[in-house]
Amino acid sequence: MNKLWLIIQREYLTRVKKRSFLLTTLLVPFALIAFVVVVAFIFSYSANQNKIAVINDSGLEIKLKDTEKVYFDVANESLDDLKKTYQKKGYNGVLYLPKVKNLKQTEVRVKYYSEDQISITTKEFIQRELADKIREIKIDSSQINRAVLESFNTDIALEEVGLSMTESGELEEEDKTNSANIATAMGMIMGFIIYLVLFIYGSMVMRSVMEEKMNRIVEVMISSVKPFQLMLGKIIGVGGVGLTQILIWAILIPTLNFIVSLVIPIDPDALQSSQLTTAQSEDMMYQMAMVIENVKAQNWGLILPMFIFYFLGGYFIYSSMFAAVGSAIGDDLGESQSLTLPITLPVILAIYIAIAVTENPTSGLATFSSIFPLFSPIVMPARLPFNPPIWEIVVSMIVMVASVAFFTWLSGRIYRVGILLYGKKVTLRELGKWMFYKD
Amino acid sequence: MFCKSIFVHIKSESIQMNILELHNVVKTYQKHTAVNDVSFNVPKGSIFGLLGPNGAGKTSLIRIITTITRADSGSVILDGEKLSSRHPSQIGYMPEERGLYKKMKVGEHLMYLAQLKDLSRKDAKREINYWFDRLQITDWWDKKIEELSKGMQQKIQFIATVVHQPKLLILDEPFSGLDPINTNLIKDEIAELNRQGTSIIFSTHRMEQVEQICEKIVLINQGQNVLEGDVHAIKQQFKEHLFQIDYNGELPKSLTVEDETNDSYRILERKDNQLIIKVEHDKASNELLNYLMQNGVYINGFKEILPSLNEIFIKQVEE
């Protein structure tokens, strides 16, 4: 036990003390935040104000609203003249409103003349503005009572209500509006984080095992400790490094985000088109509030511990397999690919299954793959926001614990043979045989 | 001088006199028998040569002794006790292919390896400092392993092997890659450790080193013990009764004739003032010397030519 602890310490400390670890751990959050800030700036500053000359032959009194991004100037010249001179006069283009002969007309063909292409948002804005303005004029000129007209508009809101039975047998209702989308997003994010962790830290374990074998320290080591202790110590040590890194990120990213938002206030509207109508932006705000409300309403007391459980379980299963493969590989990284494929394949498969499962969280595939130990580390966390049945979680966890024990034991059997074998190209078949070698 | 331990070597089969005993050890890997019924004893306080050509099973044997692997059958007794997982801390093993963690600092690396051999932090530090002083590398503690030359790394590996004061030291080709100065330095340290009572198993192909260093050897070939015993006794066993005579003066006529043969001796070689002869019985050498002296030949030197271990090794392996 004491020796195992020494190994864990070394594996952990040598990595954490490395300059590259400090750099990635600290730089990633900064880079991420810097990225968000830069994107925000690009969005808020990219649009130079467009100046558009308007020739209004429609016969209607239309005054287009100026915004930060587009400015309208009523021109009194003829269209033909302006087509030649608009650039000299500092316009980006000429907007031509043709004669509207009849207010009952339901289509008006407006033309925009310019050498440059108009941006989609500006185009949509002009179309919306003109339609609104003409509609107002049509309403005013008709006999319709505006209030009556407004009353024809109906907003429909579909609210989802989750049903569940309490222990006392009463029916309980729960607002679930928007929760499906949010559950999907959250599930995918959690599944994806575990997917990345399995690959990044799993291959870190593999590389480290290969290095030990190649520089021949391993023979010195196993004359003092059991090969299994060495492997386990490495897996736990590297796992600790991973946990540390993620923990630091989990603290640093929100903190930095908060600081940045204090120092550089980013108007959320700036990210959106500033040409949104007030009603639309109010709607957006409402949606945002709903999302935040929903994320908060998730069962975090269950999700967080479960996430860490599957994170660790998946890491142990896969990194021990990576260690076994690492022990079998010679100095040639190329030959490792045929051996790592059986490990990487289930991980990749699992992320696809996770996508399918978030679409359909109660399917048979969902149940199977959140219990099957090679898939469950990714699939189960992805399913957690959908409140899977408790029995499935319990079975999945039991299977996971048993599998962790089984896979580390199995990998240990391969590892102890592999680390002492040199100069031989190993096939998968041989790896299988090694499990049955005696000491 | 180096090989002669100050400990009195008593030939005895009693357990206490042997640091290591192997009894009928067998190890098979699938279809290949690496160690086939090998038995030998390593006397306490001796320097013992474990010899054999490549692939003979030396490494397999060493791995069994160091508890890296287990024998399929037979028994290994270390200092009177059956070998178990408690014993690695009493053994120091320097493999032929040896490495270090390149990114670690010398001091922390040695601390790590010493603690894995059950030394406390305090003891480990004291022992490492002792060895740093001895090998005059006191300023190396904070150096990174990758900054050291290969020879310097060998010194660190040597310290790692002996830092926990093992009863039994197993050195596999300890001088490979060392320059003559460092070879002598390490040789002296090994001799000193032996003087202090450490038993040493020395595995190598370099027969002249074995002859210099070892008192007893075992020769392994194809997984079997083909020869075992005292270096001196083995040489006697394989001697071919050859003698070299250095002389001054004229040889008697009968000895200068090319095809001169005799019941007692045969002249194999004639050089300037030197004869190599093979005698057929014990008294023959005396008879020849008498004959030479009576004929006015001055004898400058007379010595028996014993086979080198190298010759014995090759002969045994090729048989």
| Separation of alpha carbons A193 and B4, rounded Å | 66
Find, in chain B, the residue whose alpha carbon is nearest to that of A208. B101
Q: Domain for residue B126, yes or no?
A: yes
Ordered strands of the B274-279 beta sheet: B265-271, B274-279, B242-248, B298-305
- Of A185-194, B12-21, B79-88, B285-294, which range is least confident? B12-21
- Is A194 or B270 the better-scoring residue by pLDDT? A194
* A10, A217, A222: residue with CB nearest B100: A217
* B29, B104, B116: residue with CB nearest A224: B116
Residues B64 and B199 in one domain: yes
- Is A23 or A277 the better-scoring residue by pLDDT? A23
pLDDT tier, A186 (very low <50, low <70, confident <90, very high otherwise): confident
Chain B residues with beta carbon closer than 8 angstroms to that of A18: 103
Smallest CA–CA separation between B15 and chain A, in Å?
24
Boundaries of every domain in chain A: 46-143, 177-434
SS3 content of chain B, % helix, strand, coil (to 5): 35, 30, 35
What pLDDT sits at residue A79? 86
| Identity of the highest mean pLDDT range in A24-28, A299-303, A361-365, B108-112 | B108-112
What pLDDT sits at residue A341? 86
Q: Domain for residue B244, yes or no?
A: yes
Query: How many other β-carbons are positioned within 10 Å of the β-carbon of residue A69?
Result: 17
Find, in chain B, the residue whose alpha carbon is nearest to that of A436. B30
Residues B184 and B79 in one domain: yes
Residues B270 and B171 in one domain: no
Enumerate long-range contacts of A136-142, CB under 8 Å, 24 or more apart: A137/A60, A137/A61, A137/A62, A137/A103, A138/A103, A141/A103
What integer is the mean pLDDT of A334-348? 83
Residue A23 CB burial class (10 angstroms; 0-12, 13-18, ≥19): exposed
Find, in chain B, the residue whose alpha carbon is nearest to that of A18. B103
Q: Domain for residue B221, yes or no?
A: yes
Q: Domain for residue B32, yes or no?
A: yes
Residues B47 and B75 in one domain: yes
- Interface check for A17 against chain B (CB to CB < 8 A): the answer is no
What pLDDT sits at residue B166? 93
What integer is the mean pLDDT of A93-98? 90
Chain A residues with beta carbon closer than 8 angstroms to that of B87: none
Does A372 have pLDDT greater than 90? yes
Q: Element (H or E) spanning B89, and its range?
A: none
Does B304 have pLDDT greater than 50? yes
Q: Can you tell me which residue has the tokens 């180096």?
A: B2
pLDDT tens-digit readout, A213-262: 888 888 889 888 999 999 999 999 999 998 898 888 888 888 887 887 77
Q: What CATH class is the domain A46-143? A: alpha beta
Does B259 have pLDDT greater than 70? no
- Interface check for A219 against chain B (CB to CB < 8 A): the answer is yes
Residues B170 and B87 in one domain: yes
What pLDDT sits at residue A39? 80
Q: Which two tokens stand for residue B171?
A: 């050195």
What integer is the mean pLDDT of B223-247? 87
CB pairs under 8 A between A and B: 60
* A14, A222, A422: residue with CB nearest B68: A222
A310 CB contacts (<8 Å, ≥6 apart)?
A194, A376, A377, A378, A380, A381, A400
Residues B171 and B47 in one domain: yes
Domain boundary among B185, B208, B236: B236
What pLDDT sits at residue A179? 65
| Separation of alpha carbons A296 and A285, rounded Å | 17
What pLDDT sits at residue B144? 92
Query: Could you give the ipTM of this predicted complex?
Result: 0.80
Cβ-defined contact of B68 to A223 (cutoff 8 Å): yes
Mean pLDDT, chain B, integer: 85
- Which residue in B67, B81, B92 sits closest to B20, CA to CA? B81
Find, in chain A, the residue whose alpha carbon is nearest to that of B160. A220
Residues B277 and B171 in one domain: no
What pLDDT sits at residue A189? 84
Chain B residues with beta carbon closer than 8 angstroms to that of A220: 93-95, 98-100, 113, 157, 160
* A6, A216, A420: residue with CB nearest B112: A6
Smallest CA–CA separation between A428 and chain B, in Å?
17
What part of A 223-242 touches B (C-beta under 8 Å)? Answer: 223-226
* A215, A223, A226: residue with CB nearest B93: A223
Q: Which two tokens stand for residue A6?
A: 């020494």
Residues B123 and B149 in one domain: yes
Q: Domain for residue B230, yes or no?
A: yes
- Which residue in A244, A248, A242 sits closest to A208, CA to CA? A242
What pLDDT sits at residue B250? 80
Q: Where are the extended beta strands (E) located within A9-60?
A: 50-56
Contact B203, B172 (CB under 8 A): yes
| Separation of alpha carbons A40 and A260, rounded Å | 12
The model scores a pTM over 0.90: no
Residues B72 and B156 in one domain: yes
Mean pLDDT, chain A, integer: 83
Does A273 have pLDDT greater than 70? no
Contact B214, B202 (CB under 8 A): yes
Cβ-defined contact of B70 to A217 (cutoff 8 Å): no
Q: Can you tell me which residue has the tokens 């003390």?
A: A17
Find, in chain B, the residue whose alpha carbon is nearest to that of A5. B116
What part of A 375-434 touches B (C-beta under 8 Å)? Answer: 420, 422
What integer is the mean pLDDT of B199-225? 87
With a pLDDT cut of 90, the percent of chain A lying above it is: 22
Contact A400, A406 (CB under 8 A): no
Residues B281 and B134 in one domain: no
Cβ-defined contact of A420 to B99 (cutoff 8 Å): no
Domain boundary among B190, B219, B236: B236
- Interface check for A259 against chain B (CB to CB < 8 A): the answer is no
Does A378 have pLDDT greater than 80? yes
3-state class of A70 per DSSP? strand
- Interface check for A165 against chain B (CB to CB < 8 A): the answer is no
- Of A289-298, B11-20, B206-215, B260-269, which range is least confident? B11-20
- Interface check for A299 against chain B (CB to CB < 8 A): the answer is no
- Of A54-68, A83-97, A179-193, B215-229, which range is least confident? A179-193
Q: Element (H or E) spanning A178, and its range?
A: none
Residues B40 and B161 in one domain: yes
Q: Domain for residue B130, yes or no?
A: yes
Q: Can you tell me which residue has the tokens 């559950």?
A: A183
Find, in chain A, the residue whose alpha carbon is nearest to that of B114. A224
What integer is the mean pLDDT of A31-59? 79
| Identity of the highest mean pLDDT range in A100-109, A141-150, A195-204, A274-283 | A195-204
With a pLDDT cut of 70, the percent of chain A lying above it is: 86
Number of domains making up chain B: 2
Cβ-defined contact of B95 to A439 (cutoff 8 Å): no
Q: Which two tokens stand for residue B315?
A: 């002969």
A67 CB contacts (<8 Å, ≥6 apart)?
A125, A274, A275
Cβ-defined contact of A217 to B99 (cutoff 8 Å): yes
Cβ-defined contact of A219 to B68 (cutoff 8 Å): yes
Residues B232 and B248 in one domain: no
Cβ-defined contact of A10 to B103 (cutoff 8 Å): no
Q: Domain for residue B8, yes or no?
A: no
Chain B residues with beta carbon closer than 8 angstroms to that of A16: none
* A215, A220, A437: residue with CB nearest B95: A220
Find, in chain A, the residue whose alpha carbon is nearest to that of B29. A437
Chain A residues with beta carbon closer than 8 angstroms to that of B94: 220
With a pLDDT cut of 70, the percent of chain B lying above it is: 92
Whole domain around residue B41: which residue ranges? 15-236
Cβ-defined contact of B157 to A216 (cutoff 8 Å): no
pLDDT tier, A271 (very low <50, low <70, confident <90, very high otherwise): very low
What integer is the mean pLDDT of B168-182? 87
What integer is the mean pLDDT of B60-75? 89
CATH number of the domain within which B284 lies = 3.30.70
What integer is the mean pLDDT of A283-300? 68
Cβ-defined contact of A223 to B102 (cutoff 8 Å): no
Interface probe with A: pick from B26, B65, B68, most Cβ of A within 10 Å: B68
pLDDT tens-digit readout, A399-433: 999 999 999 999 999 998 888 887 667 777 777 77
Domain boundary among B208, B236, B264: B236
- Interface check for A104 against chain B (CB to CB < 8 A): the answer is no
What pLDDT sits at residue B283? 77
On the CB side of A78, CA atoms within 13 Å amount to 2
Does A171 have pLDDT greater than 80? no
Contact A413, A434 (CB under 8 A): yes
Chain B residues with beta carbon closer than 8 angstroms to that of A7: 116
- Of A124-128, A138-142, A178-182, A383-387, which range is least confident? A178-182
Cβ-defined contact of B68 to A438 (cutoff 8 Å): no
What integer is the mean pLDDT of A115-120? 82
Chain A residues with beta carbon closer than 8 angstroms to that of B88: 223-224
Q: Domain for residue B318, yes or no?
A: no
pLDDT tens-digit readout, A304-333: 888 889 989 999 999 999 999 998 886 666
Find, in chain B, the residue whose alpha carbon is nearest to that of A215. B99
Smallest CA–CA separation between A200 and chain B, in Å?
21
